[in-house]
Each structure stands twice: as structure tokens, then as C-alpha cells.
Amino acid sequence: MKKTCLTILCFTVLLHARAGWLDALNLGKATTNATTVSAAVAALSDGQVAGGLKEALGNGLQKAIANLGHDGGFLTNASVKIPLPEKLQTVEKTLRSLKQDKLADEFVATMNHAAELAVPAAATVFGDAVKQMSIEDAKSVLTGPKDSATQFFRRNTQTNLYAKFYPIVQSATAKAGVTSSYKNMMAKVGGGGGLTSALGGLTKTYLGEDALDVDAYVTNKTLDGLFKMVADEEKSIRENPIARTTDLMKQVFGAVGK
């Protein structure tokens, strides 16, 4: 019995020692990789780091804006499509259960088309942020987490983007007659029983004392969708050498990937 216990004890000690050795080995490997990356980046001039990063950001931002800023850019892209606000989802279910899908679909389409109209305005705001990026910012973004550039733009552009997007969204929803469309629906379905009740609740939520600022909702969702696409483009450039379309981008991001 004593011999068995001693054997188990020794085996346990060996396992812990092996685990510690492997941890140390992995830590050493991680440290070596980090040192290699730092050395590779340090070998680049400030101009190369800033230039390569700005080229990458410019390309990624232009692609994100182009992918969203056209008819169907939001509406047909499931990852960024703007749904009805949470406050109105109960009403949406009622409308669809009563075979009035068109009423809900038209409102969803209006919101998404407003977002598509707003997105191109991001170009100048993003462009200004890229121009103002310091060498320190560039190095931090280059060697930071894989969403460092996206987070940089969120910090430095979100307020200005909101200010640019909101009036465009407001104008788009006004032209589409969002408010009047609900009044018209109420008039058309005057004797509709459950449908009338549902639309009454919608009108109260949208127009009454519990009013929802749909324009603000669409603006915020537009920002979320835009930054989602920017993050996707950043990920592609960092992970896929084919997405690095210039020699400078290949050189700079190749250094990070070493």
C-alpha cells in the first residue's frame, strides 16, 4: 500500500513539473514572438509605419463605406440590417400574424435606406481622423489587438459621425413620411379589430407621450453597422496578405505578422 501511494505521489509531482515546464516553454515562446514583432516594427521608419497604416486604413474604410452606402447596403446584409426597434417588435409580431407584413417591411426598409444614405458622409470624418493620426497612434494601432484601428476610429470619430448622420437620417425618414404613414394606416384599417389595436399601440409609442426617437435609433444602428464593417476590413488586412494591396502595406503588416 505504501509503495502504491509513493508511486502515485511521484507520478503527481512529475505531472506538475512537466506542466510547469511546458508553461515556461510556452511563455518563453510568446515572449520570443513578441520580441520578434517589436524588433521587426522597430526596423521600420516612422514614415513607413504611418504610411503603411494609413494606406491600409484608407483602403479598409473606403471599402466599408462602399459596401454599405448604396441601395440595399444595409437592407440586404444580414449582419448589419436594422430591425424594428425593440419597443415596436410586439407590434411587428401582431402585424405579421394578421398577414400585414407589408406594413412592417416598409418601415424596416425605410430605416435601412436612411442608413444607406447617411454612410457616405463618413468619408470626410474618417479622412480627417486618419490625417490627424500621430506616429504614436499609428504604432499603437499597428502592434495592438486586432481591432485596434476600429477602436481608434470609434474613440475619435463617433461623435462627429453621429452629428453628420443624424440630419441625413432625419431628412430621409421625413421624405419617406414615416409619421404620416402610421396615421394613414390607422385611417385605412378603421374596423380592423386586432390590427386596429396593434396600430393604436404603435401610434402611441411612436407619436405619443412614450415617443421613440426613431431617427436617433437609426443613427446609432448605422454607426454600429459601419464599425462592424470597418472591423471586418481591419481583420482581413491583418490576417490575409492578399488584402494588403500595396508594397508598403505588405511590408508594414508583414512585420507585425512575423
Model confidence over 92-125: pLDDT tens digits? 777 777 777 787 788 888 889 999 999 999 999 9
3-class DSSP state for residue 246? coil
**Other residues' Cβ atoms within 10 Å of the Cβ of residue 94:** 18
What mean pLDDT is predicted for residues 178-188? Answer: 52
What is the 3-state secondary structure of 124-143? HHHHHHHHCCCHHHHHHHHH
pLDDT digits (tens, 9 = 90+) for 213-244: 888 999 999 999 999 999 999 888 888 888 88
> Could you give the 3-state DSSP secondary structure of residue 152?
helix
pLDDT in tens, 149-172: 999 999 999 999 999 999 999 898
pLDDT tens track for 40-87: 566 777 888 888 888 888 888 999 999 999 999 999 999 999 998 887
pLDDT > 90 in the chain, percent: 30
Query: What is the reported pLDDT for 238?
Result: 83
